[in-house]
Structures are given as C-alpha cells and as structure tokens.
Amino acid sequence: MGECVPVVRLGSGKEIALTKDVVVLLNRYVRMEYSLEKLAADLGIDGWEEAYEFVKKVPAWIMWTQPTYYERVVLKELCASG
C-alpha cells in the first residue's frame, strides 16, 4: 500500500506522505486547539510556515475524514484506481 499513499511536496523539497497517522494530526489541527507550530513539530518539518504550506496543499475533505475510514476506504480506492 506504500506506493498508493499520496504525497504533498513542500516548496523546500520536503515530502509528507498522507498516511493515517498524518490524517490523525490533521484531524487534531482542524478540530481542536492545535497550533501550526505543534503541527510542524509533530510532522518533523521546519516551523509554522512549512506547516501552513502543508495545510494549504492538503484537500480540506481529507482533514475532516476519520483516519480509520481514510486508511480502510480512501487509500484502498486510490490503490485500486492507480
């Protein structure tokens, strides 16, 4: 399934795979008090600017998708269609 996971490329050249764990962080970001600084630290990227760029590039519907549904349904559909 690894090759089926979408990747977000930042301007710095870093790539972040949209795994279930990353979707968990995005859910936390949109649903709770969770700063861009904390998101950057948890993603292992440099500062809130990169976190902001990442958030802008991720489709909004993914941020609101339950992580388990994302892993079991969305990623499987991506793999089947790819």
Q: What is the pLDDT of residues 25-69, one digit of tens each?
A: 999 999 999 999 999 999 999 999 999 999 999 999 999 999 999
- Is 49 within 8 Å of 42 (Cβ atoms)? no
Q: Are strands 7-9 and 15-17 parallel, antiparallel or unpaired?
A: antiparallel
pTM recorded for the entire structure: 0.89
Per the structure, the count of domains in the chain is: 1
Domain housing 27 = 2-81
Q: What is the DSSP letter of 18?
A: -
Per-residue confidence (pLDDT) for residue 82, from 0 to 100 = 65
Query: What span, in angstroms and rounded, lies between the C-alpha atoms of 35 and 25?
Result: 11
Query: What span, in angstroms and rounded, lies between the C-alpha atoms of 54 and 78?
Result: 20
How long a stretch of residues is the chain?
A: 82
